[in-house]
Structure 1
């Protein structure tokens, strides 16, 4: 086998791989010999089929496998010896005029990842914004919790039900004057305006009073889950047993216990810790941007054009969809990249390669536990389909890489933080929010 360099221009590489007909024939014979013992053919005992007959019967298929394995082996050997790492999947083309008995000539081209020079991190200086959760913020959060733990208090007898009120009802639903499964309940608490019932049901209960008996007439949606009810007219005979007004829960020890705290002071402490964790997350995002801005000028090296072009297209596509939120799919005009897209792409690719190099040198790894946690977080976006999502990730290396990449980057960034000079600065919540808004504007 011959391996001849045909291109070496910057990061662009080209090679011609020649596999002689004799080498390929030997590989085919080797594979057929390995399989021979398990092959049965009419007129011959198992394992005793003549090689010439095996070649005639299985040769073409084995030839393709032998060719693929030989080319893959040659490529892997090349990358091990040269130390090259392709930026994207190498482009491999075989001579279209090849016929059995000829040497196999394959042309391989790719862009190599650049050698990233050592980065001097000694001059990196960062500012960490620190926000303490004050009494005002904790009180506001407590009030919001009280709203989520909303109670209902009975209205004065004769009061008409309003939007947001809770009415307690007995009901019996019928279609064509026949009751149906799941269409009846007693003492059912329904909040008007919650849209938890069939469209139009709750509206007809507005103005109802305790003791009222009324028929609610609705039409099941055409796409309703139960086929026997979809699109059908129904009548629900309702009896209103109570009309209750919404009331915020009392901010006391009982409220605290509802949210897993021993008492109100414990709940306040938990809220303060949660708020400060949120502030710390925002502060980290600001500090990370400051770090990336400084790293962007630490080293300079040639970038693979294919990576930059792919990143620029992705940026342009993402920004276009942000500007056109009504377009959900990809049925839209071709999106052209601009100089601004290319400039941002160059920054992202340069920083991505630098962080990858730093992580590799420090032997930073994403653990199985960290990846599993990321998969679980992502799976929550598909309620009822978590198992299928887990299986999809297990069978899809590209998806696993997409989940690992941000975890790896954050671990590298944390390591760089440790090597940098970090100064803490205490600020207000409003000052932190302005700093976060400034990030979005850049």
Structure 2
């Protein structure tokens, strides 16, 4: 085997490999001898078939296996001897078909070119000089009370309004039939019967519910609305529509006492016990929001701290993933680049910058994690697969088998777990000061986060 390096430029490495015909022929001979000892060939006693006959029957297919193993061996040798850490699978450039055919007949050398992109080397340096603020919002009694009132709304009961001709008010439940039209023509999915709708709930298209306030049982109304520009059905987005609505019943909400009896509906003996559980859930939500904000600030700090050449193969792969997701969302919303207020080139440049940030941070976190001995245990992956399977009731076994038999899919579950472990490690290294904020500030989305 002859290996010659033909390119060393930045992170790119290229090698030319020549597998001499004599070496290939020797390996083929070994394979044929091994086959001869085991083969049962018609017309010959076991183990007595001539090698020449076996070569005629199986030589070409065996040489294909020899070539594949030789290529794999060459790749391993290149990585080991040059101590290369590659970013992605190597790119192999094989010769013309004529040379391949000669090699398969053991009549000529086999040469190919293997190209790698290596991982960059960089110094992590010290990290304990990073100082960040962690936004923390206290859970107030008002937060707990508001959450309980929302839960009460979910199970609120209604009773028909007793007085004749009683009009529907915000908060009342109306039962309606409706038929929608676009330019006077009915459209698919635009009709419904015996539909319960709580006015003011925001369940229907903006403007729909308000136009039913003041309606009484038996009333017929024409409701005019405009579908939102980002409506899920592209054929309706931004369109003006009319709905012929028949109000079949009007019901008012029953009084709901927030007491021990109410708490029992949610499985608690007392209202105080229910409040404590609700407070605990809110505190968990607040804590997650705080950790997410801190993580974002930490990633921002790491992003500006490190600058090094990135493997373009990884960047391209990440960009394509982001861009496919963006285009799918844009298609669902029925938008074009013009709607975004930017050209296609500008959008691509923005999303490529995001891809570069993700790759850079991924490499930094991987290096920090490796240095700190951060690992994802088998149990962590098992728990992640189980959690994923729970999201598909009735298909749990298929989901389980998919992940357990698909290393690439399993890696997608491993990556975020590993990232969280590294961030948790860093949280114990850097300086963190709690900063008290309001609930609104804690959950406010920065422009960059929204992007």
Give the TM-score band, short-chain normalised. 0.7 to 0.9
Query: Within the alignment, does 1:308 sit opposite 2:318 as a pair?
Result: no
Tell me, yes or no, if the aligned pair for 2:384 and 2:413 is still in contact at 8 Å: yes
Scaled by the length of structure 2, the TM-score of the pair is: 0.73
Query: Within the alignment, does 1:402 sit opposite 2:412 as a pair?
Result: yes
- Point out where structure 1 has 5 or more consecutive residues left out of the alignment: 167-189, 195-205, 209-242, 329-333
- Paired with 2:255 and 2:111, the residues of 1 have a C-alpha distance of 78
Query: Within the alignment, does 1:284 sit opposite 2:287 as a pair?
Result: no
- Residue in structure 2 matched with residue 341 of structure 1 by the alignment: 351
What is the deviation of 1:273?
1.2
Query: Within the alignment, does 1:267 sit opposite 2:277 as a pair?
Result: no
- Paired with 2:379 and 2:266, the residues of 1 have a C-alpha distance of 28
CA 1:11–1:192: 2 relative to 1, 3 Å: closer
Cα deviation code 1:77-100 (max 9, x no counterpart): 221232212222211122113112
CA 1:158–1:358: 2 relative to 1, 3 Å: same
Q: How does 1:202-241 map to 2 (within 5 A)?
A: none
Tell me, yes or no, if the aligned pair for 1:117 and 1:301 is still in contact at 8 Å: no
What is the deviation of 1:114?
0.8
Tell me, yes or no, if the aligned pair for 2:158 and 2:173 is still in contact at 8 Å: no
- Paired with 2:265 and 2:77, the residues of 1 have a C-alpha distance of 63
What is the deviation of 1:386?
2.1
What is the deviation of 1:413?
1.0
What number of residue pairs does the alignment pair up? 371
- Residue in structure 2 matched with residue 124 of structure 1 by the alignment: 130
- Paired with 1:66 and 1:246, the residues of 2 have a C-alpha distance of 79
- Residue in structure 1 matched with residue 300 of structure 2 by the alignment: 293
2:365 to 355, 360, 367: 355
- Paired with 1:394 and 1:349, the residues of 2 have a C-alpha distance of 26
CA 1:316–1:244: 2 relative to 1, 3 Å: closer
Cα deviation code 1:191-214 (max 9, x no counterpart): 8538xxxxxxxxxxx979xxxxxx
Q: How does 1:58-69 map to 2 (within 5 A)?
A: 58-69=58-69
Pairwise CA RMSD of aligned residues? 3.2
CA 1:382–1:335: 2 relative to 1, 3 Å: farther
- Paired with 1:269 and 1:256, the residues of 2 have a C-alpha distance of 11
- Point out where structure 2 has 5 or more consecutive residues left out of the alignment: 176-192, 198-215, 219-249, 336-342
CA 1:191–1:131: 2 relative to 1, 3 Å: farther
Tell me, yes or no, if the aligned pair for 1:130 and 1:283 is still in contact at 8 Å: yes
Cα deviation code 1:390-414 (max 9, x no counterpart): 1111121111111111111111111
Q: How does 1:15-26 map to 2 (within 5 A)?
A: 15-26=15-26
2:375 to 343, 356, 365: 365
- Residue in structure 2 matched with residue 75 of structure 1 by the alignment: 75
CA 1:283–1:54: 2 relative to 1, 3 Å: same
1:374 to 359, 384, 388: 384
CA 1:352–1:155: 2 relative to 1, 3 Å: same
Q: How does 1:150-165 map to 2 (within 5 A)?
A: 150-151=156-157, 164=173
